[in-house]
A = this chain, B = another copy of it.
Amino acid sequence: MTNTTWNRHHVISLADFQPEEYDTVLQTAASFQEVLSRRTKRVPALQGQVIANLFFESSTRTRSSFELAAKRLSADTLNFAPGTSSLTKGETILDTAKTYLAMGTDIMVIRHREAGVPLAIANEMDRLQTRVGVFNAGDGQHEHPSQALLDLFTLCTLIDAEKPRLSLLKGKKIAIVGDILHSRVARSNIWSLTASGAEVHLAAPPTLLPKWFADFVTEPIQSTQPSTSNSQLPRKLFLHWSLEPALKDADVVMTLRLQRERMTQHLLPSLREYHQRYGITKERLQLCKPDVKVMHPGPTNRGVEISSDLMDDPQFSLISQQVTSGVAVRMALLYLMSTGKM
């Protein structure tokens, strides 16, 4: 694998990802996807390296995916359990990270309830002139880059399994529906999908999609390769307070998890009303293209943001493929971060 277009130690945000970087991730993930289909699903790429999963916010699903990706690359993994940690003894998060650094950690995978923690740790690792890579596995309401990249990989491999690339989504209409305001998944996906040249349509109640969100992406998509014709393309993002215009002729509908806390925060009247107005059902999909696909980052609330029968219908649902893609895409990112350090 040639990584002429990759020189990141850290994966924190997709805001400044360039088209060539997306393509490097997609192609590397495709080659790991092939490894995962073999009987011996393991490559020695990161043998002897230590990957520490520092999940300050607990998550079994994402941690398992990262852990499996690390094991497939032959790395050693350390799991940090927030409830039983030094944090409860007054240690700062940076000091916890520095402890794992001193133990010999090569890559830190970090999830935290507060936006900005992975970036702060990455900055500290750079300030200390270490070669440690920091991987943002979800920080507050900021970003969740590996989720957006596995979504991208899932969509692109659907079109061309052998050679997934960003440009395959050009001109597609992709609707993102649900609690946009609080969703790090939505934020990361907006960066990657608009970078592909797709039209991204957001749909949510006004409380979960305030007007100022229209300013989310302003700068055009940039490319470091001057020869590329689509450098300096504008990003296409549209906001809707009702579902219909977003679903109309859509190629893809991404639903987002609705957190029950939103009720108690008076942002929504009731789960039932939310489902009636914004829940994705087979009936509603009739507004979309006939071969529309539905995605969800999980875990799902069946019958709230998505109807139960739709979720289980392989004609529409990509949910399983998303989870499967997650292992290959995280392998690709861990591998690239590791080579990007040489």
Is A298 touching B104 in the complex (CB atoms < 8 A)? no
Is A41 touching B102 in the complex (CB atoms < 8 A)? no
User: Is A239 located at the chain interface by the 8 A CB criterion?
Assistant: no
A102 and chain B: residue at smallest CB distance: B323
Is A101 touching B320 in the complex (CB atoms < 8 A)? yes
**A87 CB to nearest chain B CB (Å):** 8
Q: Which residues of B contact A89 (CB under 8 A)?
A: 257, 259, 299
Q: Which residues of B contact A38 (CB under 8 A)?
A: 48
Is A95 touching B47 in the complex (CB atoms < 8 A)? no
Is A91 touching B48 in the complex (CB atoms < 8 A)? no
Is A78 touching B84 in the complex (CB atoms < 8 A)? no
Is B60 touching A80 in the complex (CB atoms < 8 A)? yes
Within 8 A of B (CB), among A74-119: 76, 78, 80-81, 83-86, 89-92, 95-96, 98-104
- Given the known interface contacts A91-B300, A103-B323, A327-B104, the answer about A84 and B67 at a Cβ–Cβ threshold of 8 Å is no
Is B39 touching A95 in the complex (CB atoms < 8 A)? no
Interface size on A, residues (CB 8 A): 56
- Given the known interface contacts A50-B68, A68-B50, A76-B71, the answer about A84 and B59 at a Cβ–Cβ threshold of 8 Å is yes
Q: Which residues of B contact A84 (CB under 8 A)?
A: 58-60, 83
* A327 to B50 alpha-carbon distance, docked (Å): 13
User: Is A326 located at the chain interface by the 8 A CB criterion?
Assistant: yes
Question: Quick one: which of B42, B78, B298, B301 contacts A68, CB cutoff 8 A?
Answer: B78
Q: Which residues of B contact A40 (CB under 8 A)?
A: 47-48
* A14 to B321 alpha-carbon distance, docked (Å): 35
> What is the copy number of this chain in the assembly?
3
Is A99 touching B298 in the complex (CB atoms < 8 A)? yes
Q: Which residues of B contact A102 (CB under 8 A)?
A: 319-324
0 or 1 for each of A23-57: is its CB under 8 Å from B? (1 = yes): 00000000000001011111000011010100000
User: Is A302 located at the chain interface by the 8 A CB criterion?
Assistant: yes
A47 and chain B: residue at smallest CB distance: B40
* A271 to B279 alpha-carbon distance, docked (Å): 53
User: Is A61 located at the chain interface by the 8 A CB criterion?
Assistant: yes
Is A326 touching B60 in the complex (CB atoms < 8 A)? no
Q: Which residues of B contact A100 (CB under 8 A)?
A: 64
A91 and chain B: residue at smallest CB distance: B299
Q: Which residues of B contact A92 (CB under 8 A)?
A: 302
**A11 CB to nearest chain B CB (Å):** 20
**A47 CB to nearest chain B CB (Å):** 6
Is A64 touching B78 in the complex (CB atoms < 8 A)? yes
6 smallest CB-CB distances across A and B, nearest first, come from: A58-B84, A102-B323, A91-B299, A86-B299, A60-B85, A102-B320
